[in-house]
Amino acid sequence: MEGTVDGFRYGAVTPVAAYLMACLGGALGLRCIVRSLIDEQTWKPGWLALGAASIGCGIWTMHFIAMIGFQVEETRIRYDAGLTVLSLAVAIVVVGIGVFMVGCLGAGKGALTGAGVITGLGVAAMHYVGMAALRLDGSIRYDAFTVGLSILIAIVAATAALWAAVTIRGFLTSLGASTIMGVAVSGMHYTGMAAVSVHLHGTTGASWAGDSPTSLLLPMLLGPVVFLLLAGVVVMFDPLLVLGDGEWSRSGRRPGADSEFKAPATTSPRPRREPYARKQ
């Protein structure tokens, strides 16, 4: 028996909230990447790690906020806690590989392409590991073509977001790139969910005893959401990330270098000549 799948149990609430979280994670992560590129004196591994964790947490929170709205009408669902946590680790680690590629190799065509592919695969890997955590009285099946399309969407959009963020490094441009990243994650998720069909094991409307999906997901979502808020505070209080690189990025100088100048060479005043004494 085929189950009736509904991914919008709460209407537009979960898709909109999920998209906003993906944009937030993408915005923070991409700005951290830019920060590591425009200031050679910064602690690059720290900024890149913060960027990877921000993007990974944004992807993960997007997925599971969207999954709060997912239901199969004929059976109750729950989640395996271990696989749910593993999906978060997969997102951070795989996306981190792509982020460090851009941060260490620069914004060249090869580095951006490789980083975009790996980041897109990280988005997809997180999604399908998260789906593997789903438990219900049935089996989940996927349409292979739609799965492939979802992975392609993730790769193309992630590559475009990285390119926009590191090629045009302005603050507003990075915000625009974060919306592209949000589209990548959300588009991949809902395309992947369109590939899902559920074959029920029984026809009696069996329900799963135990905790509801939200009783597990909501507490687990709290940690990544708090992390994103803290990362936002770090970015907000970094002058270079808030104000943009401006003239400094074009001149290649450190922040505040415009106010540093060499004092003009001072010359000692010419000694005053005493008038010659008149000859007597």
Per-residue pLDDT tens over the stretch 103-131: 787 767 888 888 889 988 888 998 999 99
**What mean pLDDT comes out for the span 132-139?**
87
pLDDT for 32: 85
pLDDT for 168: 65
Q: How far apart are CA 159 and CA 100, in angstroms?
A: 14
Residue 259 phi, psi dihedral angles, 5° rounding: -90, -5
pTM: predicted TM-score of the whole model, two decimal places:
0.77
List the chain domain ranges.
Answer: 14-259
Mean pLDDT of the chain: 78
Q: How far apart are CA 70 and CA 14, in angstroms?
A: 9
Give pLDDT tens digits for 16-75.
999 999 999 888 888 888 887 776 666 788 888 998 899 889 999 999 999 988 888 888
pLDDT > 70 fraction of the chain, expressed in percent and rounded: 76
The neighbour count for residue 253, using CB atoms within 10 Å, is 12
Query: Which band of pLDDT confidence, cut at 50, 70 and 90, is reported for residue 219?
Result: confident
Q: How far apart are CA 73 and CA 84, in angstroms?
A: 22
pLDDT for 247: 36
**What mean pLDDT comes out for the span 76-85?**
88
Q: Are strands 77-79 and 71-72 parallel, antiparallel or unpaired?
A: unpaired
Buried b (16+ CB within 10 A) or exposed e, 175-213: ebbbbbbbbbbbbbbbbbbbbbebebeeeeeeeeeeeeb
**What mean pLDDT comes out for the span 138-149?**
92
